[in-house]
Amino acid sequence: MGTIEIRSEAIEHISGTIEHKRELLASINDRIWEFAETRYEEARSAELFAQILEQEGFEVERAAGGIPTAVIGSFGTGSPVIGILGEYDALFGLSQEKGLSSKQPVVEGGNGHGCGHNLLGSGALAAVIGVRQYLLDQGLSGTVRFYGCPAEEGGGGKGLMVKRGLFEGVDAAITWHPGPANYINSATLLATRQVYFQFKGRSAHAAAAPHLGRSALDGVELTNMGVNYLREHMESDCRIHYAITNTGGISPNVVQAEAEVLYKLRVPRSEQLADLYERIVRIAEGAALMTGTELVIRPDSGASELIMNRTLERAAYAVFQEIGVPDFDAAELEFASRIRTTLTEQDKLDGLPSGLEGKALSDRLEPYSPQDHLVMGSSDLGDVSWQMPMVQCYVASMALGTPLHTWQVVSQGASSSAHKALLHAGKLMGLTALKLFLHPEVLEQAKAEHRHKVTGRSYLCPIADDVVPGPVKR
Residue 374 confidence (pLDDT): 82
More confident residue, 458 or 281: 281
How many Å apart are CA 359 and CA 348, to the nearest integer? 10
Q: What is the pLDDT of residues 159-191, one digit of tens each?
A: 999 999 999 999 999 999 999 999 999 999 999
Q: In what order do the strands lie in the sheet with 81-87?
A: 59-61, 71-77, 142-149, 81-87, 172-179, 390-396, 183-184
Average per-residue pLDDT for the chain = 95
Cα-based distances in Å from 121 to 239, 390, 409: 29, 17, 16
**For the chain, what percent of residues have pLDDT higher than 70?**
99
Say if residue 3's pLDDT is above 70. no
- The residue that leads in pLDDT, 269 or 353, is 269
**2 pLDDT tier (thresholds 50, 70, 90):** very low
Instruction: For residue range 22-50, list pLDDT tens digits in order.
Output: 999 999 999 999 999 999 999 999 999 99
pLDDT of 352 reads 79
The per-residue pLDDT for 154 is 87
Predicted confidence at residue 474, as pLDDT, reads 63
Which pLDDT tens digit goes with each residue over 277-303? 999 999 999 999 999 999 999 999 999
Would the pLDDT of 1 be above 70? Answer: no
Rounded to an integer, the average pLDDT of 366-379 is: 87
Residue 337, pLDDT above cutoff 80: yes
Q: By C-alpha distance, which of 332, 352, 326 is closest to 428?
A: 326
Which residue intervals of 74-215 are DSSP H helices?
117-138, 157-163
Q: Which domains does the chain have, with CATH numbers?
A: 8-189+305-454 (3.40.630.10), 191-303 (3.30.70.360)
Provide, rounded to the nearest whole percent, the portion of the chain with pLDDT above 90: 90
CB 361 within 8 A of CB 399: yes
Tell me what the mean pLDDT of segment 224-245 comes to. 96
Name the residue among 69, 242, 220 with its Cα closest to residue 158: 69
The answer to whether 143 touches 81, Cβ cutoff 8 Å, is yes
Mean pLDDT of 5-10: 83
Each residue of 104-127: pLDDT tens digit? 999 999 999 999 999 999 999 999
Query: How crowded is the C-beta side of 362, counted as CA atoms within 13 Å?
Result: 28
- DSSP letter for each residue of 418-458: HHHHHHHHHHHHHHHHHHHHH-HHHHHHHHHHHHHHHTT--
Question: What is the mean pLDDT of the segment spanning 373-390?
Answer: 93
Better pLDDT: 2 or 36: 36
